[in-house]
Structure 1
Amino acid sequence: MALIDLQNISKQYDTKVILKDANFTLQSGQRVAVIGQNGQGKSTLFKIIMRLVEPDSGEISIDRSVKIEMLDQQPKFKANLSVRDAIENQLVELKSAKLEYEKITNELMTNYEDENLLRRQSDLASFLEFHNAWDLDNMIERVLVEFQLKQYEFKDVNLLSGGEQRRVSLAGLILKKPDILLLDEPTNHLDVYMVEFLEELLLKNNFTLLFISHDRYFIDNIATNVVEVEGGELRRFNGGYSSYLEQKAQILSNMQKEHENLLRLVKQEAHWMQHGVTARRKRNERRKAEYFDLKQKAKTNPAAIKKMSIELQREQKSFNSEEKQQNKKKMLYELDNIHKTLGDKELIKDFTTRILQKDTIAIVGPNGSGKSTLLKIFMEKMKIDKGSFKKGDFQIAYFDQQREMLDDDKTIMEIFCPNGGDRVVLDDGRNMHVFGYLKNFLFPKEYLDKKVGVLSGGEKNRVALALLFTKRVDCMILDEPTNDLDIPTINILEEYLQNFQGALIFVSHDRYFVDKIAKKLFVFTGNGHIMESFQPYSEYLQIEKELKELDNLEVEIQKEKTSVKVVNEPKKQTKLSYKDQREYDSLPNELEELEAKIEELNSCLADPKCYEKIGIVTLSKELEEKKAIYEEKVERFLTLEELVESFNS
């Protein structure tokens, strides 16, 4: 039975249809990614499941026994609460269950026949096992470290930034492990190392998950299914993001074949209309009506096919397509042994590099390592402490998460045409109508007169990016450009960036985006060191992971060598000790007695007269204890016997 079952769900806001007769199910253990353009209904689907919004029609069936939790975009915490307390507050039920389990275990030491206690102990053990709560304190420590919250452990959570607060909330939810977890853009504000840790927890602990994400690698690594929200419909695909693309390509191929068949049928019916209608029979009238329906469908199909085809082509372009010709390269930046320290933290140490006209560089590394500081140095908003920094004579366009280039009081039309008119000149010299250009960034015509201040965060980002590509510049510097963007918009951004003729320097945590755009990496490796790499980012991370595993293996091997050395140091033993010899002599009799007792207990459990008198629980408990003792003594006897044989050989 499905944990969540939505049937024929419809929802409309004013005249805009969000969902129409949509169906959705979620089974235990599934991890479903919800994708689609902003405003298509992804968040509405979440709100309907959480019962924050009621559908206009349809049936909602949610298993009453399951607990559903959702990661809020802007989590709220009680006053005067530390980061650690905020996490532990979400784990009250788990901690209470663990305390109760320990209490019952102690009670069973003296009252081991109490069936109610045994049953409750078993239920609690299953609950704690499901939530991976046996080692909760150590898991809290690990999450604090991996999500870079350890330094804020005892700081008031309400004093943290929005991104840090989301990490606190996410940490608590992951440890709590509700029956169903809903996550809206969980990888926002996480660096790649945090994302990999999150992936590890979600996969290892078998979460049932419904999540919205623009991080395509995250979707590919985590999702068992992808649900695309488009035109009020929910279309489901098996597998992760790469499987979604393959299945979408197959759907497109089928649509094209069906359209070809439809055109043939329309031609046949058109011939019949011209030559075959001889009377106004009902059958003929019905066939005429069907012909006009087919003709209308044949007109509308190409637009849908073309739209899907363009979206797929954007996504399926070669990740590392090389330019056929490279222009003569011009020096933009030259850095020689630069240093930068903030407070007592050395962010950049002995960094030397050159950046040329055609370079596309991703700056990557953990949060707080110095990525944004390096961007500010390139922007000349921050000075270096030591070394040489040279910048050529060229024009820069800058995009940041604060969208400083936008005026909330102006309409979109005023932003793009400040001097009036309705034309806009792009960075490549093309002159376009504003609507024709903004249509590429998924804005409908009615948005031209909207003020920037009323737009959502994602819509503002789209405006800022569209404005960016109207500037004639030699270098673009971008700080987390994919944040708050849906996947179709990221595809458009990637297309524009790949066609840009200048240099690109950007910070991003989106591994897929970095792989697709960057030709070079500046990797913050720790302690202020920056390494240049020409590998794809995903390949670099994989190699780094394998090297760490090798380091850990070497440590283990060294431990084993040390252990072996210690074992070999004592003088070689030639006979059993007095104590071991007595144990070796007595073990055969003890094993015979245990075998007899085990046989007796098994016989009693097979005889109703016997087990009704003593009790099945008591007999079963004693049998398990005797079996455990028997196995332990057999193992000990074999160990001693091996020693005796080695002395005699």
Structure 2
Amino acid sequence: MNYVAAEDLTKSYGIKVLFENISFNINEGDKIAIVAKNGSGKSTLLKILMGKEIADHGNIIINKDIQVVLFDQEIDYDPNLTIEEFMMTLDSAPILALKNYHQSLHSTDHDFIEKALAEMETHKAWDLENEMKQILSQLKITDLEATMKTLSGGQIKRVALAKLLTETRAEHRHTLLIMDEPTNHLDVEMVEWLESYLNKAKVTLLLVTHDRYFLDSVCDTIWEMEDRNLYVHNGSYATYLENKMIREENLNATIDKANNLYRKELEWMRRQPKARTTKSKSRIDSFYETEKVAKTDTRKQGLELDFEMKRLGKKILELKNIDKSFGSKVLLKDFSYQFQRGEKVGIVGKNGAGKSTLLNIIQGLEKVDHGEIEKGETISFGYFSQKGLTYKEDERVIDFIKEIAEFYPLANGKSLSASQFLRLFLFDDQTQYSPISKLSGGEKRRLHLMYILYQNPNFLIFDEPTNDLDLPTLTVLENFLQQFQGSLIIVSHDRYFMDRIVDHILAFEGNGKIKDFIGNFSEYREAKSREQASEKNIIVKSEPPKENTIPNNSPSKKRKLSFKEQKELESIEKEIPEFEEKREKILHQLNNETDYEKISILSADLEAISEKLESHEMRWLELQEFLEDS
């Protein structure tokens, strides 16, 4: 089934052309990721699909039998609504049935109650209510009575994500789900849950994300928007990079040929008398086409710089026996660490565990309850936070950077001009002389990052640097950081980014405990999984004693149960009904529970009891086979 068909779409803002004559199709079941530099028109294209923008030229046909749902960077909400009220603002029959049912719980009108129950059955709203509870629980939304205005930006985004996923579940129509950076403000566990959810969900997906592991897990097609065009790549992110490299190599070969031809044709053009009318018009037209190709700039300047970093002394930064709490919540407990030159440390942990607090303590922005902090005299911090950029409305990009310095120093005694450094971070000449206020949200984020790096710090602190950055910028940033000789701390939920940059992990594991792990993020996660598995009381099927095993050369030989196995069978037959009863009880509690913290606990209990029940049933079958044979 075809969802969307677009032909020759063009969109410009003033003299800036975002895309020109692009065509594409979206069919049922497609899971597509859009990759592009910020300012290339990704968000504009999404808005055109939503009907919020109109293309300058071209046709777009959206199937009338589908609904298009957008998860946007900007969340529209009434700040006075509670979370539960916000969730119930969805305009769908199952949600309306759910609202009526909740109202009927406080009603004495039997007709209204019966009607509400009938609507719940008709629209299968019982299942929807359970799924809504599970989604909110997975996204760590527990207090449904909290008003939207009391939530942080990250919490608002998670609530909006829960509402969107509920909406796609509530509607039984065909759905095109459009998601713009859905993993921002989610911790790793939430991101992995969302990956699993989208893989299982029967939705058609159009996704903008900087998270490359998430992209590879969820999507099977990549749309690349570059130089006003749209290129389609079927396969993984690695396939896209390979295809892009081949395309650019072919284009560069074409440009080299065009340059050779251009020099010859330019010489011919100069030789012709201006008044001469016999000059071939077609050859002149061909000359200008050749000139256009020859002057195409495809070779991005490589980021291979020998930086002249501000000197770091022997003493860098040492934390000794640090304690920090807020009320009864312990964030740091007797934490000690000594940072080394060239060290690249990743900090991970759940939201609210204390990661940002540690960054503030390191910079002297937050006082400790107990302990000592010793800083080297030569430390120059560069802090890239989640806060936005401060600038004058009419200030140009180039002037904003030049306020720091005209040139960026290199170790070989040379330097880069402010304009050259801006080009390294994908700001072309036209954008450099534009007002900052005209930049897209992602471009402002990129400029903020560049502003920090251009100050040439020797100790970088990044708090979620990948949020709202496009993939081309992330590649540039990763190359920069890999060559950076100073100390580096990164707080990030971007697994791919962490794997490329950091060499060991400080993991906030709760209650003030911080684990120092040597290795990258994926290695830490693997070690953590093994540790958790060993701590669980996993029931492993025991092998029959050697003296009771059936020899390989006599497979038909039977045996009776030993006394020990007979007792084990009796015990299992007694425990299985008990486990089944407990399981049913938990299921009943889940269906009637509204406290989302309790739902999370009950879900864990249900998983544990189900594992035990399955293990007992498997062992019962094994023993039963011996019993039947004996």
Could you say which TM-score interval applies, normalised by the shorter chain? Answer: 0.7 to 0.9
Is residue 61 of structure 1 aligned with residue 75 of structure 2? no
Could you say if the C-alpha distance between residues 564 and 231 of structure 1 is closer, same or farther in structure 2, counting changes exceeding 3 Å? farther
State the match for 1:423 in structure 2: 406
Identity %: 33
Which moves more between the two structures, 339-348 or 496-505? 496-505
What is the 5 A alignment of 1:611-626? none
What is the 5 A alignment of 1:469-484? 469-484=453-468
Deviation at 1:460, TM superposition (A): 2.8
State the match for 2:482 in structure 1: 498
State the match for 1:530 in structure 2: 514
Cα deviation digits, residues 347-367 of structure 1 (max 9, x gap): 112322210111111211111
Cα deviation digits, residues 428-457 of structure 1 (max 9, x gap): 575433323222223344555655455443
Code of the aligned partner of 1:401: Q
State the match for 1:613 in structure 2: none
SS in 1 for 2:367: coil
Is residue 209 of structure 1 aligned with residue 205 of structure 2? yes
Is residue 165 of structure 1 aligned with residue 156 of structure 2? yes
Deviation at 1:44, TM superposition (A): 1.2
State the match for 1:74 in structure 2: 74
Deviation at 1:70, TM superposition (A): 0.6
Cα deviation digits, residues 23-78 of structure 1 (max 9, x gap): 12111111111121122111111111111112122221111111111113232234
Rg comparison, structure with higher value: 1
Deviation at 1:504, TM superposition (A): 0.9
Is residue 189 of structure 1 aligned with residue 185 of structure 2? yes
Code of the aligned partner of 1:83: I
What is the 5 A alignment of 1:396-411? 396-403=381-388, 406=391, 410-411=395-396
Code of the aligned partner of 1:392: G
Is residue 509 of structure 1 aligned with residue 504 of structure 2? no
Aligned partners of 2:392 and 2:573: how far apart in 1? 84
Cα deviation digits, residues 282-303 of structure 1 (max 9, x gap): 9x947745763674366235x2
SS in 2 for 1:554: coil
Paired residues of 1:340 and 1:385 also in contact (CA < 8 A): yes
Aligned partners of 1:8 and 1:353: how far apart in 2? 58
TM-score, normalised on structure 1? 0.71
State the match for 2:4 in structure 1: 4
Is residue 49 of structure 1 aligned with residue 34 of structure 2? no
SS in 1 for 2:455: coil
Cα deviation digits, residues 408-433 of structure 1 (max 9, x gap): 675445433349xx823347575433
State the match for 1:619 in structure 2: none
Code of the aligned partner of 2:68: I
Could you say if the C-alpha distance between residues 496 and 648 of structure 1 is closer, same or farther in structure 2, counting changes exceeding 3 Å? closer
Paired residues of 2:39 and 2:443 also in contact (CA < 8 A): no
Larger fraction in helix:
1
Cα deviation digits, residues 243-272 of structure 1 (max 9, x gap): 211221222343345556667888999999
Code of the aligned partner of 2:381: I
Task: Identify the match of residue 140 of structure 1 among 113, 120, 132.
Answer: 132
Cα deviation digits, residues 215-241 of structure 1 (max 9, x gap): 222212211111111222211111232
Could you say if the C-alpha distance between residues 571 and 89 of structure 1 is closer, same or farther in structure 2, counting changes exceeding 3 Å? closer
RMSD (CA atoms): 4.1
Cα deviation digits, residues 459-514 of structure 1 (max 9, x gap): 33233222222324321112222222222222222222223221111212222221
Task: Identify the match of residue 395 of structure 1 among 380, 404, 409.
Answer: 380
Task: Identify the match of residue 368 of structure 2 among 384, 393, 400.
Answer: 384
Paired residues of 2:258 and 2:291 also in contact (CA < 8 A): no
Aligned partners of 1:180 and 1:238: how far apart in 2? 19
Which moves more between the two structures, 212-221 or 91-100? 91-100
Code of the aligned partner of 1:436: Q
Code of the aligned partner of 2:382: A
SS in 2 for 1:200: helix
Paired residues of 1:361 and 1:520 also in contact (CA < 8 A): yes
SS in 1 for 2:77: coil
Could you say if the C-alpha distance between residues 546 and 95 of structure 1 is closer, same or farther in structure 2, counting changes exceeding 3 Å? farther
Aligned partners of 1:50 and 1:241: how far apart in 2? 26
What is the 5 A alignment of 1:45-444? 45-78=45-78, 80-90=80-90, 92-95=92-95, 135-150=127-142, 152-177=143-168, 179-258=175-254, 285=280, 288-289=283-284, 292=287, 295-296=290-291, 299-300=294-295, 303-304=297-298, 306-307=299-300, 330-393=314-377, 394-403=379-388, 406=391, 410-418=395-403, 423-426=406-409, 430-444=414-428
State the match for 1:518 in structure 2: 502
What is the 5 A alignment of 1:602-617? none
Could you say if the C-alpha distance between residues 564 and 198 of structure 1 is closer, same or farther in structure 2, counting changes exceeding 3 Å? farther
State the match for 2:21 in structure 1: 21
Task: Identify the match of residue 570 of structure 2 among 568, 571, 583.
Answer: 568
TM-score, normalised on structure 2? 0.73
Could you say if the C-alpha distance between residues 564 and 300 of structure 1 is closer, same or farther in structure 2, counting changes exceeding 3 Å? farther
SS in 2 for 1:74: coil
Paired residues of 2:35 and 2:471 also in contact (CA < 8 A): yes
Cα deviation digits, residues 288-324 of structure 1 (max 9, x gap): 45763674366235x22x23xx5xx77xx9xxxxx9x
Tell me the matched-pair count. Answer: 527
Code of the aligned partner of 1:69: V
Aligned partners of 1:473 and 1:257: how far apart in 2? 40
Aligned partners of 1:408 and 1:556: how far apart in 2? 66
SS in 1 for 2:52: coil
State the match for 2:593 in structure 1: none
Aligned partners of 1:571 and 1:444: how far apart in 2? 74
Aligned partners of 1:455 and 1:648: how far apart in 2? 78
Code of the aligned partner of 2:196: E
Could you say if the C-alpha distance between residues 169 and 473 of structure 1 is closer, same or farther in structure 2, counting changes exceeding 3 Å? closer
Gap runs ≥5 in structure 2: 101-117, 270-275, 543-563, 575-619
Paired residues of 1:427 and 1:471 also in contact (CA < 8 A): no
Code of the aligned partner of 1:245: L
